[in-house]
Amino acid sequence: MPNFENFPSTTPENKGDKKEDNVEDLIPPQYKGLDSETLEELWTIKEYIDKDITEAEKEKKAKVIEYLKVKEGKEQEVEKTGSEEPTQPINQTAEDINKGFEALAEGAKIGFSEGIKKKIAEYDERIRAVIAGEPLKSYDKLEDLKKDFKQLAKQDWTEDFTPEKL
C-alpha cells in the first residue's frame, strides 16, 4: 500500500493555510501589466451558478485593483518627493476619505482611459472589416465583436460611431 503521509492534505481546513505571497499573481495572464484603471474596465467576472464563487472572484478582483491603486499611488509619491517615506499621516479623517471618493466620481465623469479608447477603436475597426467581408482576425464574428464593443464602450455599436465621440 502506498504511503501518502508526505503528500499535502487537501482537506478544507488545510487549504486556507497557504497565504498569497504576491497579490499580482492573482491577475489573469491576459491582464498582467495593465494599470489599475484599465484593468478594472477590462477584467470581467463570470456569473457562476454558485454565488459564493462569483463573490469570491469579485473580491479577488477588488483586492487586486485596490493593491494596484495603492502601489501606483506610492510610485507617484516617490516620483514627486524622491522619498519612500509617506508625506501624509496614515490615519485619514472621514473628510479626506470623502474627498477621495468625490475625486473618483469626478474622474468617472471624464470618460474612458486612453487604453480603453484604443481598444474600443480597435473593435470598431474589426467590426467594420467583418461587415466589409474582410475580417482582420480569422475568428472575428460580428455578434461577438458587437457584444465586446458594448461591454467596453457602454453603448451599442452603430455605423455612425467614431472613436472621436468618446
Helix (H, G, I), strand (E, B) or coil at 23: helix
Domains of the chain, residue spans: 20-84, 114-165
Please give the Cα distance from 97 to 100 (Å, whole number): 5
Q: How would you label 74-99 residue by residue, b for 16+ Cβ within 10 Å and e otherwise?
A: eeebeeeeeeeeeeeeeeeeeeeeee
Portion of the chain with pLDDT greater than 90, in percent? 17
- What is the CB-side half-sphere exposure of residue 43 using CA atoms within 13 A? 24
Check pLDDT > 70 for residue 154: yes
Check pLDDT > 60 for residue 24: yes
Please give the Cα distance from 8 to 19 (Å, whole number): 15
Q: What is the mean pLDDT of residues 8-36?
A: 67
